[in-house]
Structure 1
Amino acid sequence: MAVKPYPLQFRSEMKERVWGGRALAQFGLELPEGRIGEGWMIGDHPNGTTKVVNGELAGRGLDEIRTQFGREWFGSKGFSEKNGRFPLLIKLLDCDDDLSVQVHPNDRYERLPKGELGKTEMWYVLDARPGAKIIYGLKPGVTRQTLEQAIRDGRIMDCLQEVPVEAGDSFYIPAGTVHALCSGVLVAEIQQNSDTTYRLYDYNRPGLDGKPRELHIEDSLNVIAYEGAGATRMKTHLSGPNEWLTLAESPYFITQKGRVDGEWKLATSAESFTILIVCDGSGSIVWDGGRLETKAGQCFLLPATLGEYALTGGMTVLRSWAP
């Protein structure tokens, strides 16, 4: 039976992390017990596949929809060429404590697990406590040799750049960039569909099982872009409503920010799906045949064949697609 395209909303998959908290509950999300660090909002990965909660496809996983509707719904660029899966993974992260100092490989790294992608990503800061910061790149002049020696000497933090953050900041993090979110930060993350992280340092703390978490020093040293990978950051003040500000452009995704005020008429492209993340406020998505109410913390996947739609109300949104 043919299904007319409509915006898909998914039940998030919650992941307990040693650095997580309970802040994602503010979005009305159902949190299991424990320190919940990650909400996988739109996912098609062996470690987490989200299921639709609205419309005719309710109960179906993103992997099932990908298999059934293929390029008709996801567009000509809506698949990973390496493994055939949906190319992006969308998360909300609650950092009640510091994350490990880490780095991600690119698609070409020979020691990637079979079928796994590299991981280029971006963060948009939804909220931040006063004085919050992140680790974002190496200090100028740090080489593999100097970093390796610093790790042996127990002074890796001397090699890392710390950056203060506040709500509305945006960070583009290409594969090869050393980074870490720190305590007191709540972010939306758009990334390649990958779950591969190499840890350089984890503050000598126990994991959820009480044992030290594994470090991946050799892999990390191998994949770091010591001369820089093209990481960029920006404040994201908007000049006015119903206009897009580009936050990140990569080979894997383009992400823009906009402020909806009233009605904003838009359209999808046949080449790619569109992902919408509501950062604050509320409103609706209106399309031929339906209307879906929206609020902060919700994420939606719009099929490439949806065509014309409108955003209404008063809300800040992120829009992402595969270029």
Structure 2
Amino acid sequence: MNNETLYPIKFTPILKEKIWGGQKLREILNKNSESSNIGESWEISDVEGDTSIVSNGLLKGKSLKDLLLKFKGDILGEKNHEVFGDKFPLLIKFIDAKQDLSIQLHPNDEIAAKRHNSFGKTEMWYVVQADENSNLIVGFNQKVTPEIYLKHLKEKTLTEILNFDKVSEGDTYFIEVGRVHTIGAGVMVAEIQQTSDITYRVYDWDRVDDEGNKRELHNDLAIDAIDFDMPDNFRVNYSKEENISNEMVSCPYFNTSYLKVTETLDKLNNKDSFFIYMCTSGEVEIEANGFTETVAKGETILLPAALKSYQIRSKNATLLEVYV
């Protein structure tokens, strides 16, 4: 066990310019960018070509992949290491939609493995900030068959059968594979998902980039990946009791809780898993193994599984707590 050198680990955010991106990640979450269209901040990533780099402490400059290869179960937890090997199972992001994202969905594990040699992409959203009257699109507003769906797709009337939800800060959604969805203009979310970058784009509002090109659509792939029989169970109801972990989403791929911190919390990790904390308001100090790190709004930190006890201190902060 190498846990004598493990501590709460921060990573340099990987910022992604998007046709629909804006400036909230810089202005509200203090991301370091001069760009006017940053759509995503990848906080913790093991996606090939986009591996997170440690930004603090003794391991600064090492990649997440380096840590997984060296520390194995001490990072992931022993059971997770048996399942995922040297791959990190989650991709953690903040997303700013200045414009509507494309209408899209993600394939399940079986389809993703067969077609793309990838995990599927089950995910959840927590609304960090939302402009007045902004929406998410999640699922359909009526019973839809493949025939009805294809007719609306062809006639460019897809929005007539989609479910629009007006959102505000704290609203939380669980987006299972096969569910049609998108983030609407004016919404900024924290996103927790399986490590996968597989998205099937079915409609992109007919927009073009600076060179007049439309983005690729994936309708041939999407039609048999859509689950037309899903129940409308995507809204997440959760308690906001202070200073305890309030469960939001528990699924085979991740567990996420809401944690409002107004005092000093002594935490024990008995889950055989790493823990991730995303700070969505305020600021906390996290102390473990003799190391103390400050986590401010818009920052994310990884606590390796080998850290069995730690302390979280704040007068007023909100965290998303994630483990597998």
Which residue is 1:54 aligned to?
56
The answer to whether the Cα contact below 8 Å between 1:79 and 1:87 also exists between their aligned partners in 2 is no
The answer to whether the Cα contact below 8 Å between 1:43 and 1:88 also exists between their aligned partners in 2 is yes
CA distance in 2, matches of 1:107, 1:213: 25
CA distance in 2, matches of 1:230, 1:160: 12
CA distance in 1, matches of 2:138, 2:232: 12
Alignment: residue pair count: 321
Q: Which residues of 2 match residues 98-177 of structure 1 at below 5 A? A: 98-109=100-111, 113-177=115-179
Give 3-state SS (helix, strand or coil) of 1:283's partner. strand
CA distance in 2, matches of 1:110, 1:65: 26
Residues 15-24 or 150-159, more deviating: 150-159
Cα deviation for residue 264 of structure 1 reads 1.0
The answer to whether the Cα contact below 8 Å between 2:15 and 2:41 also exists between their aligned partners in 1 is yes
Which residue is 1:287 aligned to?
288
Cα deviation for residue 244 of structure 1 reads 1.9
Which residue is 2:246 aligned to?
245
Q: Which amino acid aligns with 2:188?
A: L
Q: Which amino acid aligns with 1:285?
A: I
Q: Which residues of 2 match residues 1-323 of structure 1 at below 5 A? A: 2=2, 3-25=4-26, 26-79=28-81, 81=83, 84-109=86-111, 113-207=115-209, 209-228=211-230, 231-234=233-236, 236=238, 238=240, 240-269=241-270, 271-313=272-314, 314-322=316-324
CA distance in 2, matches of 1:88, 1:212: 30
CA distance in 1, matches of 2:84, 2:8: 26
Give 3-state SS (helix, strand or coil) of 1:147's partner. helix
Cα deviation, 1:61-110, whole Å, max 9, x if unaligned, reads 10111111111221124359477410000000011000000000011006
**Unaligned runs of at least 5 residues, structure 2:** none
The answer to whether the Cα contact below 8 Å between 2:106 and 2:120 also exists between their aligned partners in 1 is yes
CA distance in 2, matches of 1:225, 1:160: 14
The answer to whether the Cα contact below 8 Å between 1:201 and 1:215 also exists between their aligned partners in 2 is yes
CA distance in 2, matches of 1:111, 1:261: 43
Residues 27-36 or 131-140, more deviating: 27-36
CA distance in 1, matches of 2:251, 2:173: 12
Change (3 A) 1:173 1:301: same
Cα deviation for residue 270 of structure 1 reads 5.5
The answer to whether the Cα contact below 8 Å between 1:103 and 1:224 also exists between their aligned partners in 2 is yes
CA distance in 2, matches of 1:171, 1:191: 12
Cα deviation, 1:136-155, whole Å, max 9, x if unaligned, reads 10122101111011111221
Give 3-state SS (helix, strand or coil) of 1:157's partner. helix
Change (3 A) 1:196 1:32: farther
CA distance in 2, matches of 1:83, 1:176: 26
CA distance in 1, matches of 2:90, 2:267: 22
CA distance in 2, matches of 1:110, 1:297: 30
Cα deviation for residue 269 of structure 1 reads 3.2
CA distance in 1, matches of 2:278, 2:77: 19
Cα deviation for residue 112 of structure 1 reads 5.0
Please give the TM-score of this superposition, normalised by the length of structure 2. Answer: 0.94
Give 3-state SS (helix, strand or coil) of 1:109's partner. helix
Cα deviation, 1:13-72, whole Å, max 9, x if unaligned, reads 001111100111122221252411000000001141110011111001101111111112
